[in-house]
Structure 1
Amino acid sequence: MITSLIALTVSAFSLPLLENSTYSQTETKCTLTVKERHLQENTVLTMSTDKRNNFDVKIYHLNDLQAPSRGELIQNSIDNINQHPTFNYVVDHNLFKRLDNQTAIYTATIANDDFSPQRFTQAFKAHSYRTTLHLEGLKPFTFIASQRQADAFFRCAEQQGSTLAKR
């Protein structure tokens, strides 16, 4: 009885069930996807970059914030230490996909002013791949990426930038 309980416990912790982020790479793009800490499947943060080092940051969620519209996003470190600055961003709210008459997926995209998405991504890295986001009109979200997945994303982003610099 105890042996089977130990085996069950060991196998449960060895499975990547607790993995809350994924990293993917194509020839032209690196993407890190992080599930929200509490809402898991209902709210997802994606950060991506391409060969030209164009960063893109989106939050996919189920809340209609009068899409299409503009709003504000505030990024904090999870521990709210004073040494970590708070950043404010302009976001565009849009309908991403209607699943049925009752359910739709919306996006909040950080407005691409050639600086904000990259600043967001670098702050996420500086906060040890963890952040709290306050999207105007919603309760705060907490995103914590797996270090292994986030490290792979940032290595890919650096390689994308160095490939561009060589050209």
Structure 2
Amino acid sequence: MITPILFLTVSAFSTPLLENSAYIKKSSACTLRIKEERYQDKSVLALTSNHQGKYDIKIYHFNDLSAPSRGKLIQEPIFNKTQTDINYLVDHNLFKRINNEQVIYSTTIANDNVSPKLFIDTFRSYGNRSLIQIEGLEHPLSFVADNKQAQDFYKCADKFTTKASILTKKTESISPFSSP
């Protein structure tokens, strides 16, 4: 009698996390999409890396934060409060109008070639989870990725970064003034 109840309890708590994130790989990009823990159908975090070694961080939501506008986002650890919080500049924009009443907005970490990579590295160091506070939202958002999907994303992103770095070095070593 206890075993079925234990199994049901473990299944009930583990299933949402497995469905909470999705890893998508294409030839030119890889993405890890993570649904917000409490409001799963209302907020999604997308971490993306492309074949050029560039990173992009977007949060899709239904909150009009005076889009288009610029604001702040704070990334915090969920459990280990001894780790530092990281502040980012973000851009709020209209992403897609579904109908007259529903509009999806995006909040994008400003792409300064440092912040998106820092966000991903911090997300990784926080155990594939972060508490996100966006200026203008009443409650923080909690994102937790499935460990296997997150590891697959990091491998893909690291591979793209390595390839892009090698291509950059090769391009830099070719000079129009060098002899063949």
RMSD: 2.5
Structure 1 pair 44–10 and aligned structure 2 pair: CA distance change class (3 A): closer
> In the alignment, what sits opposite 1:123?
122
Is 1:97 matched with 2:101? no
> In the alignment, what sits opposite 2:174?
none
Distance 1:94 1:24 in 2: 24
> In the alignment, what sits opposite 1:107?
106
State the shift of 1:13 in Å: 8.4
Letter in 2 for 1:79: F
State the shift of 1:52 in Å: 1.9
Distance 2:90 2:74 in 1: 10
Counting matched residue pairs gives 166
State the shift of 1:19 in Å: 1.8
Structure 2 residue runs without a partner (length 5+): 168-180
Distance 2:113 2:91 in 1: 15
Distance 2:115 2:57 in 1: 9
Structure 1 residue runs without a partner (length 5+): none
Letter in 2 for 1:147: N
Distance 1:23 1:88 in 2: 26
Give the TM-score, by structure 2 length: 0.83
Is 1:144 matched with 2:144? yes
Distance 1:85 1:6 in 2: 37
State the shift of 1:158 in Å: 1.0
> In the alignment, what sits opposite 1:20?
20
Distance 1:93 1:79 in 2: 28
Contact 2:65 2:136 in 1 (8 A): yes
Structure 1 pair 101–5 and aligned structure 2 pair: CA distance change class (3 A): same
- What SS does the corresponding residue of 2:67 show, helix, strand or coil? coil
Distance 2:23 2:150 in 1: 7
Q: Which has the higher strand share?
A: 1
Distance 2:32 2:148 in 1: 11
Distance 1:57 1:124 in 2: 11
> In the alignment, what sits opposite 1:163?
163
Give the TM-score, by structure 1 length: 0.89
Structure 1 pair 6–56 and aligned structure 2 pair: CA distance change class (3 A): closer
- What SS does the corresponding residue of 2:42 show, helix, strand or coil? strand
Q: How does 1:28-39 map to 2 (within 5 A)?
A: 28-39=28-39
Is 1:43 matched with 2:48? no
Distance 1:14 1:59 in 2: 24
State the shift of 1:18 in Å: 4.0
Letter in 1 for 2:102: T
State the shift of 1:51 in Å: 1.6
Q: How does 1:65-80 map to 2 (within 5 A)?
A: 65-80=65-80
- What SS does the corresponding residue of 2:71 show, helix, strand or coil? strand
Name which one, 1 or 2, has greater alpha-carbon Rg. Answer: 2
- What SS does the corresponding residue of 2:119 show, helix, strand or coil? helix
> In the alignment, what sits opposite 1:135?
134
